[in-house]
Structure 1
Amino acid sequence: MIAWMFRTVFKLAKNTAIGGLGLAGALLALLVAFQEKLIYVPNAPGLERNYPFDPTKLGLKFEDVWLTTRDKVKIHCWYLPYSAEPSPGIGKEKKSVPTVLWLQENAGNMSYRLLFVKPLLQICRCNVLMVMYRGYGSSEGSPSEQGLRMDADAALEFLEGRDDVDNGNIAVFGRSLGGAVAIDLVARHQDRVRALVVENTFTCIPDMASKMFPFLKAVGMRRNGAMSFLIRNKWDSAGKIGKIRVPILMMASTYDEMVPFQHMQELYRRQKSDKCEFFPMRAHHMTAYEEVRHEYWPKLRQFFEKHMEY
């Protein structure tokens, strides 16, 4: 429907006297009115809204978890515990195994991330909590910046309430949109998080909007621009990353076809953690863990072994 509206605006502008200025104004109005529909993509062509499979299809144990957020929205999660072969000296004390709060990319539900989460769990030897944002998958509600913030808060609180999770050994990992959610969460609660990993995320929504629609920059719809107040969902990672002092791993694909590589470079310039690593990868937006697996997984495991407790 959104695409149809944009096509209609272009057609009207072409066939009437409103011209380029009118087209820009009409597009701006649509962008403001429907920004949640444009930013958040619970479903995408070729992806099922329902889960086509669950972790058991990949031989993984999991718990089906439902969380109630502060505003009473129920969100769906999967908790996947790490399990190793028993060995001398390893028992209940292995509660210290790291736990990763995984915040996914935009389109589709969490079942499509299992091919990534399985090696994350096994190679990095960690528990993983997969969070399904409101409006995505089976979760209730509709997505917004404020809403996803509450979803992440509920997930962190859930982990802290588990007897088998070491509260001092939690890392937050977000890719793309999930990276913005992760930066926001850790900037507010870094006393409750041991480390942060962000992969191929953006500086802020106004910067991404002006990239997709260049005329927006000219009318002040950019970060700190005169019209930026019209963007309700800012996800201002560039303004928040400097607050974080915990160890950070920034994984950035040089061939990213969705988020310009320069966004990650700017986030790195703005961060102020004395334990931040920037790791460029000759890969694309979603598939670095497959394209450069021989670099990706050793680096991630090295970071966890350096900053998390095993």
Structure 2
Amino acid sequence: MTASATAAPGPPADPSMLGRLGGLLMGLTSGVAKAAAIGYVGVCALAFAFQRKLQYFPTTEHPPAVATLPPAYGDIEEFTVRTEDGVTIRGYHLPVPTMNIAHTKHPKIHLLQLHGNAGSRYHRIPWAHYTRVRLGCAVTLLDYRGYGGSEGKVTEAGMILDGKAGIQWAATRANETGSKLVLHLESIGSAAGICAAAALRRDARGGDIGVAGIVAEGGLSSCIEIAEKVFSFLPVRLMMKDKWDGVCGAAASLDPAMPFMSMHGTRDEIVPFWCGKKLFESSSSTRKVLKEFKRGGHNNLADQTGYIEALDEFYTTVESL
């Protein structure tokens, strides 16, 4: 007869050892949580401190002298304008071309372009030259504060004041030549221009502000909506200074009789198409049109088939009123 082999019970666990192990694990967990919390707060602090460097990318230096630009661009006038808060900003004016190659379709259309968040007016000269030669119009390019040799530092409130000053300058020039002023607003320039136009209309108590039409190219309904999607892990709404969340309200407050066109690429990787469509839907205009470019991104709409034709048609509408 063999006895069954039964393992002898081990010694009881040392309560003090278990306690030390539990404390160690809790300490490690607490340490990781603290480190993560500190790291997250650090990321938030950095994002808050440098947020405008993440939002605006100005070329700050003054562009080359006009006299050094390629002769093919024709006459370019450099001008300055002083904003209502005393900041001097700079711009270029390209008059209606007189060259034989010009298609003088719209000699009484004067464009004011407010550009996007990167570069300066210097980088928009090729677009301005192309547009005025193809369509025979005058073009004014404006740099916000902090861009292209303009004084100051860029902020939402400052850009709106810059837009107001630019509109007033261009409206005066358009009036002198018997032209109609059209705002051509690129990307965040749509926010600046629409908010500026709305502010001028409030100042005029609903009266005429000298703007005959608005084109929003890659326009946006707000910056905060985009930022919340890009930086979904951050409390963006609490942190962001320049939310640009009044754009749709401003668009709704403009003169309903003013023609409005939104041009947007469905492949826009910076300002999603839905954002531009929301701005379009917010416009109070009874003469508004949405031009979708199926192959268009954020920075290549001018290369798309139908771009110039859309502008041509829009200018014709403005001239007919």
Larger Rg, first or second structure (1 or 2)? 2
Are 2:224 and 1:206 aligned? yes
Are 2:261 and 1:243 aligned? no
Q: Give 2:300's aligned residue.
A: 287
Q: What is the aligned counterpart of 2:241 among 232, 249, 252? A: 232
Pair 1:136–1:267, CA change in 2 (3 A): same
Q: Give 1:66's aligned residue.
A: 80
Q: Give 1:305's aligned residue.
A: 316
Tell me the distance in 1 between the aligned counterparts of 2:231 and 2:48.
Answer: 13
The alpha-carbon deviation at position 133 of structure 1 amounts to 1.1
SS of residue matched to 1:232: coil
Tell me the distance in 2 between the aligned counterparts of 1:16 and 1:132.
Answer: 48
Where structure 1 has 5 or more consecutive residues not aligned to the other structure, the ranges are 1-14
Q: What is the aligned counterpart of 1:37 among 53, 60, 70? A: 53
Where structure 2 has 5 or more consecutive residues not aligned to the other structure, the ranges are 1-30, 202-207
Are 2:42 and 1:26 aligned? yes
Tell me the distance in 2 between the aligned counterparts of 1:21 and 1:277.
Answer: 48
Which deviates more, 253-262 or 30-39?
Answer: 30-39
Q: With structure 2 as the length reference, what TM-score do the two structures score?
A: 0.77
The alpha-carbon deviation at position 95 of structure 1 amounts to 11
Check whether the contact 2:58–2:118 (CA below 8 A) recurs between aligned residues. Answer: yes
Q: What is the aligned counterpart of 1:182 among 184, 193, 202? A: 193
Pair 1:161–1:242, CA change in 2 (3 A): closer
Q: Give 2:117's aligned residue.
A: 106
Tell me the distance in 2 between the aligned counterparts of 1:252 and 1:188.
Answer: 25
Q: Give 1:156's aligned residue.
A: 167
Pair 1:167–1:151, CA change in 2 (3 A): farther
Percent identity at matched positions? 27
Check whether the contact 1:81–1:126 (CA below 8 A) recurs between aligned residues. Answer: yes
Query: What is the identity, as a one-letter code, of the residue corresponding to 1:202?
Result: L
Q: What is the count of residue pairs matched by the alignment?
A: 275
The alpha-carbon deviation at position 96 of structure 1 amounts to 7.2
Q: Give 1:78's aligned residue.
A: 92
Aligned-residue Cα RMSD (Å) equals 2.8
Tell me the distance in 2 between the aligned counterparts of 1:96 and 1:116.
Answer: 17
Tell me the distance in 1 between the aligned counterparts of 2:106 and 2:159.
Answer: 28
The alpha-carbon deviation at position 255 of structure 1 amounts to 1.0
Q: With structure 1 as the length reference, what TM-score do the two structures score?
A: 0.79
Which deviates more, 73-82 or 239-248?
Answer: 239-248
The alpha-carbon deviation at position 51 of structure 1 amounts to 2.5
Query: What is the identity, as a one-letter code, of the residue corresponding to 2:84?
Result: R
The alpha-carbon deviation at position 163 of structure 1 amounts to 7.5
The alpha-carbon deviation at position 234 of structure 1 amounts to 2.0
Q: Give 2:129's aligned residue.
A: 118
Query: What is the identity, as a one-letter code, of the residue corresponding to 2:261?
Result: L
Check whether the contact 1:253–1:288 (CA below 8 A) recurs between aligned residues. Answer: yes
The alpha-carbon deviation at position 142 of structure 1 amounts to 0.6
1:213-272 CA-partner distances (Å, limit 9, x unpaired): 0123xx4x44xxxx3xx4321222233222222210100011111111110121122222
Pair 1:162–1:295, CA change in 2 (3 A): closer
